[in-house]
Structure 1
Amino acid sequence: MPLRPAAPRRTGRLSWLELDSVRLEGNPLGDSHRRVHPVYLPAGYDESDRRYPVLFCLAAYTSAGPAQVNWRNQGENVPARLDRLIDEGRMPPVIVVFPDCYTSLGGNQYVNSPAIGAYADHLVDELLPEVDRNFRTIPEPAARGVFGKSSGGFGALHLAMSHPGHFAAVASHAGDCGFDRVYLRDFPVAAGVFARYNRDLEAFVRSFWRAKRPGGADFHALMVLCLAASYSPSNDQPLGLSLPFDLRTCALDEEVWARWLSFDPLVRIEQDHAHLRELSGLWVDVGSRDQYFIQYGTRAFIDRLEALGVEHVYEEFDGTHSGIDWRLDHSLPWLVARLKAASGDSI
């Protein structure tokens, strides 16, 4: 018996979809509008004219689509996990898109913002139809799903509520929720980092990308800037964003904070739950020991889903925010089972 598990008998392949984005052209961060998005094509794709349902995988903060398909020395990247799940008969073959939405602020929340770029529009207005044109998808919303972890899980919920009618099923793994419990503790840390740069936000970002060993506090400070660029853009402020706290006293700016809260799934559900009710499948899970305290807002979100009569599956597992890719073994077969499949397909 081999020490390591053998690879599946049949494996898919990656294709790289290059796309010049009109939506991202001229974005204020100067990030490239030319993106290369990995696309997983299942085993057998090249031997038939079959059409497939499609999933979009939204990466967490600090990551992007290309990182999702990188080789791993231990465990599985997402394509290897898909190969195994399909080979074991736990889910039918599916196309999976890994969008590259990385930015100079270290990641993405997948929203439209004049401070960072129109990434939600890029996904639904540009990448989605380009995937349908270039690959044998089932080109209709009933055959599309979106999933992600952390910021990617938030992005999946955001797209379902802000851009309804493009995806039929959604899975959010530890998606940002309950902002008052998740983000507030990072503000004093970020203020302390910015103080080292005389509160010059652009100087901090430039230094971050040139540092040999940026620390954990630096990553958190950069994340706060990414969140502010996403939730509270302001054309007349440095980096085109307003922070929800005072840089000297760290006192909360209630007006700016209210703009952040308007993106919180726990707040948005009150007016947008009808869009979630229209989904063929909604999966939410979170670790009971999540170190960012996302479990608390998620529990409240689930309470509201139940009170509003929105069908869903919720699982709270024994784990943290880290090392939770194994959750895809549970969510992906469930998600694909709720999508329209090609005629004759079955699990």
Structure 2
Amino acid sequence: MRARLIGLVAAVLLVVTGTAAADSSGHGRLRFAVSISPALQKAAVDGRAYVIVTRDGSSEPRQQIDITGGVPFWGRNVDGLKPGRAVTLGGGGDTYGYPLPTLASLPSGRYTVQAFFNTYDTFRRSDGSTVKMHMPCGDGMDLFGSPGNMYGAPQQISIDQRSSGTIPLQVDKLITPADPVPAGGTCQQGNPTDTDHVKHVKIQSPVLSKFWGRPIYIGANILLPAGYDPAASTRYPVEYHFGHFTRNAPRGFREDGGNDFSKWWLSDAAPRFIVVELREENPFYDTSYAVDTPNLGPYGQATTKELIPEIDKRFHTIAEPWGRITSGGSTGGWMALASQVFYPDVYGGTFAGYPDPVDLRREQIVNVYDDGNAYDTVREWDRTPRPDSRAVSGDTQYVNAQENLWELARGDRDRSGGAWAMWEALFSPQGKDGYPAQAWDKPTGAIDKSVTARWKPMDLSAKISSEWSTLGPKLKGRLFVYVGDTDTYFLNTAVELLQQRVQGLTDPAADATFVYGRAKPHGWSPYTVQQWFQIYADYISKNAPKGTDVSAWRGPEIAPRLNVSEGEIVKAQPQVGLPR
């Protein structure tokens, strides 16, 4: 029985890593020929063609793709595909799929099959590089739902690996923008509809447009406080709440008061704040991470020097660092902390929750500087897959290889719209081909340390430590980081490493706060949203210039209290055994 189990595990790992013995050459009989309807598209297009199959006909196959429990799909890049002409998927090394890497691995049977086409624009950037990528359009880089992409109607097909041959599929439907498009404008200029308390700002960024070689727009969703009067003189502090792209109102606010937060926000009990949530989708991801990088361009400049001044001009904000705090969780947690660290003269404090990797000695659980492989812990005689997602119980939900190979099937050269691809675009220098330099070989996970050594400028922990002589006076007492100690994606381990470094800083002492939730997963917070705003109001009041009148927005002097039992919140020393 033990031998059988070992054999089963080995077989699963072979499929996951793309080396299944069933057809390692990729030369099976089954092919799909994907074409674009001439009635839909008149000119040749670049992009990536996909075929998706499922046994579940309750929804479109393109809506069933996922890392675990998802359906098989395959993709292939194509340049200059003319309408009516076909690109063939299968039979060669340039077609790649997940969770079955080759079409030959698909069992014979009856399936619902769908063709899809992800269109790529050509960007001739100001740094001299030329790249082909999909430009999202008010969708937050939702690859299989992004405007400009094309798909075909699902078809019922019987597949026999011995005799199916080449099966033709056509894309004949276009995905259209969700946001209203201005008359005579483009979809990138579209904005959600304003309401009484929720407004929207979108501007063309000069620095980003120059970098990308075409008009690039950035925007924000704005939540105004109760009693806001554009004609009055009262100015309000601002919470810059970072996160993933959304067209929804900040903090889930509803004009009809249909949830507890909305009722509270409009009541006399709430301090008066303006909330800003960015909309900065880009060709790599649904958000920019709001910093300057070689691959994404100067999003930090665009945010701090173009968008924020525009928000300050249009609304009654306190346009000073002491009146601005940053917050967010997960991706938004990294953005909140990074914005404070990279732009300490713009923001006055950060409250960062369960952030993406803040110390790259633990990108989740990969030490990008010292480890040899991102997918496995490799020893002389064996190797163990690195977990990527876990339950609080300890069960592994999926491993690093699975998510990385799922992304690779969606798009090579970090064009998948996935988290690992975005981190590479965020942390890496630009490669010789104009795309992000690859930190590891995507099929095998072998790390290129000559690339990861150049990640340190974006390593928040390393930056804080190495630049403390100048950052220290600006960050003292301004860093508040919280995370569950059983974070689903192991992000607590990087927070612990950051805490180790910060606690050792002197002249001045960092006076930073790190809070851990015992046995709490990703998304845990020590406070309710209402309590957070009370904390923000207290923090900003204490840090306001001496003599500042805060009574117009401060609200009731209610000290926030933890709503959990003693011992559940641990201001802990970092765990032992982590690399130092």
Q: 1:170 to 1:195 in 2, by over 3 A?
A: closer
Give the number of the structure with larger relative contact order, counting CA–CA contacts within 8 Å between residues 6 or more apart. Answer: 1
CA displacement at 1:131 relative to structure 2 = 1.2
CA displacement at 1:281 relative to structure 2 = 3.0
Match of 1:317 among 517, 523, 529: 517
CA displacement at 1:51 relative to structure 2 = 0.8
Q: 1:67 to 1:261 in 2, by over 3 A?
A: farther
**Separation (CA, whole Å) in 2 of partners of 1:138 and 1:242:** 40
- Asked if 1:338 corresponds to 2:539, the answer is yes
CA displacement at 1:191 relative to structure 2 = 5.0
Q: Deviations over 1:169-220 (max 9, x none)?
A: 11111112233333435663355346658xx715x84xx6xxxxxxxxxx7x
- Given that 1:115 and 1:235 are in contact with CA atoms closer than 8 Å, whether structure 2 keeps it comes out as no
Q: Deviations over 1:222-252 (max 9, x none)?
A: 22221111111315236x2012112343211
Aligned counterparts, 1:159-308, within 5 A: 159-176=339-356, 177-183=358-364, 184=366, 185=386, 188-189=401-402, 191-193=404-406, 196=409, 201=412, 205=415, 222-237=418-433, 240-273=435-468, 274-275=470-471, 277-279=473-475, 281-308=478-505
- SS state at 1:56 partner: strand
Amino acid at match of 2:401: P
- SS state at 2:278 partner: coil
Match of 1:23 among 207, 211, 221: 207
- SS state at 2:206 partner: coil
- Given that 1:232 and 1:256 are in contact with CA atoms closer than 8 Å, whether structure 2 keeps it comes out as yes
**Separation (CA, whole Å) in 2 of partners of 1:12 and 1:272:** 44
Q: Deviations over 1:16-37 (max 9, x none)?
A: 112111122155497x622331
- Asked if 1:64 corresponds to 2:245, the answer is yes
Aligned to 2:224: 41
**Separation (CA, whole Å) in 1 of partners of 2:299 and 2:522:** 24
- Given that 1:281 and 1:338 are in contact with CA atoms closer than 8 Å, whether structure 2 keeps it comes out as no
Identity %: 22
- Given that 1:181 and 1:296 are in contact with CA atoms closer than 8 Å, whether structure 2 keeps it comes out as yes
Match of 1:98 among 266, 277, 281: 277
**Separation (CA, whole Å) in 2 of partners of 1:23 and 1:242:** 23
Q: Deviations over 1:291-323 (max 9, x none)?
A: 111112212322332222211232212421136
Corresponding pairs, count: 311
TM-score by length of structure 1 reads 0.77
- Given that 2:503 and 2:510 are in contact with CA atoms closer than 8 Å, whether structure 1 keeps it comes out as yes
Displaced runs of 4 or more, over 6 A: none
Structure having the higher strand fraction is 2
Q: 1:195 to 1:264 in 2, by over 3 A?
A: closer
Aligned to 1:152: 332
CA displacement at 1:324 relative to structure 2 = 4.7
Amino acid at match of 1:294: L
Structure having the higher helix fraction is 1
Q: Deviations over 1:70-129 (max 9, x none)?
A: 8589xx99x97376267363x521111111112232333222123223111111111111
Q: 1:233 to 1:275 in 2, by over 3 A?
A: same
Q: Which moved more, 1:258-267 or 1:112-121?
A: 258-267
**Separation (CA, whole Å) in 2 of partners of 1:295 and 1:276:** 23
Aligned to 2:45: none
Q: 1:228 to 1:96 in 2, by over 3 A?
A: same
**Separation (CA, whole Å) in 1 of partners of 2:529 and 2:500:** 23
- Given that 2:404 and 2:420 are in contact with CA atoms closer than 8 Å, whether structure 1 keeps it comes out as no
Amino acid at match of 1:50: T
Q: 1:285 to 1:12 in 2, by over 3 A?
A: farther
**Separation (CA, whole Å) in 1 of partners of 2:405 and 2:239:** 40
- Given that 2:464 and 2:471 are in contact with CA atoms closer than 8 Å, whether structure 1 keeps it comes out as no
- Asked if 1:122 corresponds to 2:306, the answer is no
Q: 1:134 to 1:191 in 2, by over 3 A?
A: closer
- Given that 2:485 and 2:492 are in contact with CA atoms closer than 8 Å, whether structure 1 keeps it comes out as yes
**Separation (CA, whole Å) in 2 of partners of 1:83 and 1:170:** 26
Q: Which moved more, 1:250-259 or 1:297-306?
A: 297-306
- SS state at 1:52 partner: coil
Amino acid at match of 2:482: D
**Bigger radius of gyration among the two:** 2
TM-score by length of structure 2 reads 0.48
**Separation (CA, whole Å) in 1 of partners of 2:263 and 2:467:** 35
Amino acid at match of 1:92: P
Amino acid at match of 2:329: K
- Given that 2:221 and 2:277 are in contact with CA atoms closer than 8 Å, whether structure 1 keeps it comes out as yes
Q: 1:323 to 1:171 in 2, by over 3 A?
A: closer
CA displacement at 1:66 relative to structure 2 = 2.8
- SS state at 1:19 partner: strand
**Separation (CA, whole Å) in 2 of partners of 1:237 and 1:130:** 36
